[in-house]
Structures are given as structure tokens and as C-alpha cells.
Amino acid sequence: MLAALQKFAKSWFAAAILGLLIICLAFLGLGTDPFKIQTGSWVVKAGAREVQPQEFSLFFDQAKKRLEQQYQQQIPTEAAVQQGFDRQVLDELVLNESLSEMLTRLGLAAPKALIDQELMKIPAFFDQITGRFDEATFNRLLSENKLTPAIFKKSIGDDILRNQFSTALTAGLKTPRIYSALQGAYGLEERDLGYFIVTTASVGAVSKPTEAEMQAFLKQNAARLMRPEYRTLQIVRFSSDDFRGQVKADEAEVLKRFNFRKDSLSRPETRTIVQITAKNATAAADAVARLNRGEDPAAVAKALGVEPVIYDNKPRSALFDKVLGDAAFALPAGGVSAPLKGDLGLAVLKVTQITPGKAASLEDSRAEIEAEVVKDAAANKAYAQSQVYDETHRSGAGLVESAAKAGVAVTTVGPVTAEGVGRDGKPAGGLSPDVLKAAFALPAGGESDLVEISAGDQYAVRVEKIVPAAPPALAEVRGDLGKLMTAQKQAKMVQDRAEALASRIRKGEAVSVVAASAGFKPVKLDKMTRAGAQAHEALGREVLQAAYEGSKGQVFTAGVPRQGLLVGRIEAIRPGQANQVAQLAESQRQGFTQEVFQDIGNATRSYAKTKVKAKSDRERALRALGLDPTAYAESEDSKAADPSKGSKAP
């Protein structure tokens, strides 16, 4: 998994994810200088824009969650940092903050009206029942993500600004045909390859590893073969699910909740409205006349040089401008308003559809409300049961005795690892991360307090037994280890034989002659091209890479999946046919242009980074993640080899 994480962290997809997260989590703050008087604690600084440690921590966590969703397993922060994921986060933050700062210095800013329009496109901020923009939901969702309305709107503005700048920068750009022609020539370059495959069967049987050899192997690879710590746990659970069938919905409580929520359960009248902004009174009057004649609103807007604003099936509350809202909901279906003076200037409205509202009734809402009442009643019973356990446990009784007093069963789970995985490699017992965290913080025989998972759902855990981390005993792995070591010996024999035969070819013997002398069948592949590499994919990536990247006359060995080791020689290299190169160049031109656009975007961000003198502090970033920077410090030699690493804020 760590290898996949490392590959992902270097991919364009990771950069895209980080770019999207930066748009949503851009922050402002105060900076600091570690070599001077401390005046702040920024992690990234690009001119006046700064990212604080807690903001970096939030951004890193969001990025890591996306990785965990992709791989469907938890990724420890330490593992992500070891693979350089924190550097990926820092690099993307620096580049995006730098571009935003440079655009701000140029005097560019997103109009408030555009920001508001983008905000209204986010369904999560609207009440699902009334269809109205819900200020409380808006603030709650931002608070859950540690954002404020001002910061969130600013991030939307930054997104708009960057998108429009990128569009303006590349508008009308087309790459010269010579560029895609070079790409076509590269893809259709022809290569002749002669080869044969040294198979495992050709080296014969090998002796089985001795007892001493296997013991030595285990000792040399003890750290790599180390098995994790396992624990056997006793768990007591208090769940509202256990009481769902024992409680009924109280009618008085159902009626009380319905009356309290009646307005929100009702469905308001909604309308589909087209708004056309007019630059002056003449244009507004023209729009009214044309709409009344039945012309398409989109065509009318285009004729006036504006984009129509469409409110699709929205309630009255969705129109913030009171003048426009009142007028829109006073018109009949198909009605056209007179020119209206709104908050943003003159506008004309047309109502294309009206959906009547509907008042809520108790019977329509009964099933949902009764389910809530039953759920809450069951949760209360589970809570009361847990309190009996808690009082008994606090008085000095153990987990088993306290559970018996509360009338709840004790479940034994394990052995399991800290990730909740059993010895068979599968999740054991459906344990939540909170329970596992509590269990692996206890000594053998230790018991936790109640751990709340959710309302009406609590656990307590006892560590019954601990099996420390240790390498496996030889008796446990003898069979698999013998097979592994035998395979390694065979692979070494195949490698030695292949290298010996390759050495003869390097000295001048023909591939066919060497193959025949060793009892192998020679193969000749003519006119291999990179564009047609799929036809030879059975040879494997290692072989194709060597064949396409090597020089004429080069001899190489490379593994072939499930076959053995290929010994080959690049016999000839020729340019592709001109007519085919031309066709490929034209077909790839658009894709190549997109690649150039990406290069321009990356170059622009890099220029902005240099222009605003942006910088980051990795030590602060690691501390923000709760890690000790000294544990991830790099040697001076590695820093000298790569100046971009280990940099600190000056």
C-alpha cells in the first residue's frame, strides 16, 4: 500500500485533488521567522497570504482522507509523511497561494456578484425540504470544516480569478504542428528486436534450503517479517439497536415534534424564472417586448450581449433581491415583468413554470417522526443501561461483573491488530477506530471507561491478552519459506545463465547462434513502434522499456512475466513512414495542445512563486501534524543533492 501511496503522491491526479482542496481551504493568517523574533507561526507564506499550522493540518487531513477512500483503508499519518505526502501538500499550497498573490498584486479580483452566483450553485447549503438557502446549515457546514463565511467566499473568489486568468492566458493558443510531428515521429520510430527467453525450467531443479539457511534468512529479515502486536479483547456494548423492538412512539411526543417542524416539512411554491440583465432602459424595454412576443429568453439575452440567469424550480427565498423576488412571485406562468431596478441594476424577468406548494400533514410525516421518537427512546434506554454499568465499574467492579449487573453480554474478540485485523488478514469483530484506539492504549488486564461512538451507542473494552510483536518462528513458516528460498535460488540461476549468454552476444555472436547453442528458440520482432506497444504487452513493461529506450546494438536482459528472463539485442532503429507520422501528428495535436496548456499553468505558478518569494516551513508543518520534525530530518548530503528539500523559512 505504501508503494501505491508513493506512486499516487507523484501523480497528476494527486496534484488535481490537492488543487481542488486548496480552493476550498485557502486561509489568511500572520507569519513568523524562525531565525528572528517570533511574530507568528505560518507554514506557507506567499507575500501577504499565509497558511497557519492548524489550517495546514486540516488541509493535510482532508487530502489523506481522499487517499484512504481510494485505497479503502486507513493510512497512518507517519506512513504518509515517510512517503513524502506532506511535501506534496506543501508544494501545492505554495504554488497556488503564489499565483493568487501575484494576481492580487496585479489589481485583479472576482466580482462579488459572481461569488454569490457560485455560492448559490452549492446544493448542500439549501434546505432539502423547503428548497431555501439555509443560513444555519451554511454556517454549520463551514464550522465543521473549520471555515468561516468570509474565508469560504474568499476561496471561491480565488477559484474564479484563477480560472478566468488561465482561460485568458491560453485563449486561441494552438501549438505548431512541428511539435506534434516530433511526438508522432517518436511514437512511430521502428525498432527490430532479436531475443530468446531463459526459462526457469531450463536451469533444472535446485536443492531445498537447509535448516541453517532458513534460520539465517529469518534472522537477516527479522525486521521485514515482523508480525504486529495482537490483542484479545473483551467488549461490552450499549446500543440503542437492542431496544428498538421494545419501545413504541409516544403520540404526544409525535404531535409535539410535528407542530414544531410543520413549517419546514411543508413544501413551498417554486418557480422557474429567467432573469435578463439590461445595460440601460432601452435594452430593458427591448427585452420586455421581445419576451412578450414569445422569443426564446436565451436568444433575447444573447442579442443584448448578456448571459441569462436561470432560477430552476426555486422558492421565493432563493432570490436575495427583494424587488426581483416580489415581482417574480407576483407574475402568472409565462408572465413577463416590466423593467425592474434591482440591487445589481436593471433586469427583466420571465416566469416559465410554477409548481404549487403543499402544506405538511401529520399523516404524511408520521412514519418519519415516529421513527425518530422510537430511536430517541431506545437511545435513552441504552444510556440508562450504560449508567448502571458505569456506576458499578466506578465502584471498583471489573468489566465482566459490571456488565452482568447492567444485564448486558460481554463479547470476546481477537486476537486483533491495532487496525482491527485478525490473524487471517480480515477485519475482526467490526471494531470501530475509537474502540481499537482505547484498547491499544491499555496494558494487559486494563479496562477502559465508556467510549461513546454515537448517541445511544457506547462501548467499554478490557485487554484480556497481549501477544507482542515478533518475527515468526521457523516452524510456523517452514513450508512457505522453503518455497520462497527455492524460488530465489532458481531466479539467481536464471539470472546468472542469462547474463553469461548476454555476455557472448556483447562480444559479437549473433542472437540466433547463442540461442541455438543453449537450446532456446530465437525470436525476431521487426518494426516495433511505441504507438503499437500494446501488441507486445505480453513481454511486460520491463522488456518494452529496454527495447524502446535503448540504443542500436544494445544488449539487455529483462524479466518476462510468468516465463523467465529475456536476453535481447536491438538490431536496428529506423524512422517511421512519413505518411503515418503525419496522420498521427494531426490526430495528437489537440492532446498535445492540452499538455502545453498544463505546462503553461505550471510554469506560471512557478514564476509566481519566484516573483512573490514564497516559502514554506516543513518543521512547522510536521509539528502541526503532531509529529517530531527531528524524526524526519534529512542528512545534509541529501539536502545538497536536492536543494528543494529541507528548506526552511529564512
Where is average pLDDT lowest: 129-138, 171-180, 396-405, 576-585? 171-180
Whether 346 and 434 map to the same domain: the answer is no
Task: Say if residue 273 is in the same domain as residue 334.
Answer: yes
- Asked whether residue 167 is domain-assigned, the answer is no
Question: Is there a single domain that holds both residue 415 and residue 492?
Answer: no
- Residue 168 maps to a domain: no
Strand intervals (E) in 455-535: 457-467, 523-528
Question: Minimum mean pLDDT among 341-350, 587-596, 600-609: which range?
Answer: 587-596
- Whether residue 621 is contained in a domain is answered as yes
In a domain, 589, yes or no: no
Q: Give the pLDDT of residue 16.
A: 40
Q: Of 281-290, 295-304, 428-437, where does mean pLDDT reach its minimum?
A: 428-437
**Side by side, which strands form the sheet with 615-616?**
49-51, 44-46, 615-616
State the pLDDT confidence band at 379, using cuts at 50, 70 and 90.
Answer: confident
215/212 Cα distance (integer angstroms)? 5
pLDDT grade for 217, boundaries at 50, 70 and 90? confident
Residues 101 and 13 in one domain: yes
At residue 647, the pLDDT reads 41
What kind and span of H or E run contains 387?
Answer: helix 362-394
359 against 92, higher pLDDT? 92
Query: Hey, CA dihedral for 396, 400, 401, 404, is it positive or negative?
Result: positive
* Alpha carbons 111 and 287: distance in angstroms, whole number: 25
5 within 8 A of 85, measured Cβ to Cβ:
yes
pLDDT value of position 434: 81
pLDDT at site 146: 67
pLDDT at 24 over 60: no
- Both 241 and 343 in one domain: the answer is no
Q: Which of 449, 467, 485 is the last residue of a domain?
A: 467
Pair (527, 435) in one structural domain? no
* Res 336: pLDDT: 92
Is 148 within the bounds of a domain? no
For residues 124 and 139, what is the distance between their CA atoms, to the nearest angstrom? 11
Q: Is the pLDDT of residue 211 over 90?
A: no
Q: Give the domain-ending residue among 467, 502, 523.
A: 467
Tell whether the torsion through CA atoms of 148, 149, 150 and 152 is positive or negative: positive
Same-domain status, 522 and 568: yes
**Residue 521 in grid coordinates:** 528458440
Could you tell me if 566 and 542 are in contact, meaning their C-beta atoms sit under 8 angstroms apart?
no
Domain stop point among 543, 574, 605? 574
310 plus 347 within the same structural domain: yes
558 and 623 co-located in one domain: no
pLDDT of residue 526: 93
What is the distance between the alpha carbons of residues 90 and 70, in angstroms, rounded to a whole number? 21
- The cell for 622 is 510536521
Supply the CATH number for residue 318's domain: 3.10.50.40
- pLDDT exceeds cutoff 80 at 176: no
Is residue 586 in some structural domain? no
Are 242 and 295 in a shared domain? Answer: no
Handedness of CA 56, 58, 64, 66 (dihedral sign): negative
Of 305 and 344, the structure prediction assigns the larger pLDDT to 305
Classify residue 560: in a domain, yes or no.
yes
Taking a C-beta distance cutoff of 8 angstroms, is the pair 262, 129 a contact? no
Which residue did the predictor score with more confidence, 144 or 468? 468
Pick from 96-100, 205-209, 585-589: least confident: 585-589
Residues 101 and 22 in one domain: yes
> If pLDDT is split at 50, 70 and 90, which confidence band does 474 have?
confident
Burial of 87 (0-12, 13-18, 19+ CB in 10 A): middle
| Crossing angle of helices 149-170 and 112-119, rounded to 10° | 110
Confidence grade of residue 484 (pLDDT, cut at 50, 70, 90): confident
Q: What is the pTM of this model?
A: 0.40
The confidence score (pLDDT) of residue 649 equals: 38
Residues 432 and 442: their CA atoms lie apart, in Å, by 16
Burial per residue of 518-531, b for 16 or more beta-carbon CB atoms within 10 angstroms, e otherwise: bebeebebeebbbb
Cα–Cα dist 144/136, whole Å? 12
Strands (E) across 327-404 are located at: 340-342, 345-355
Q: Does any domain span residue 533?
A: yes
Backbone angles phi, psi at 352, to 5 degrees: -100, -20
pLDDT at 44 over 70: yes
Strands 615-616 and 44-46: antiparallel
Mean pLDDT within 452-475: 83
* Mean of all residue pLDDT scores within the chain: 81
Q: What residues are paired with 523 via a beta bridge?
A: 195
Q: Which value, to the nearest 10 degrees, does the dihedral of the CA atoms of residues 521, 526, 530, 532 take?
A: -90
C-alpha–C-alpha distance, residues 377 and 251, integer Å: 13
Would you say 569 and 138 are in contact if contact means Cβ atoms under 8 Å apart? Answer: no
Q: Kindly state the average pLDDT of the residues 492-505.
A: 93
Query: Do residues 241 and 379 share a domain?
Result: yes
Contact 195, 511 (CB under 8 A): yes
How many domains is the chain partitioned into structurally?
4
> Domain of 538?
190-225+477-574
Instruction: Copy the grid coordinates of residue 207.
Output: 536443492
Does position 38 have pLDDT exceeding 70, yes or no? Answer: no
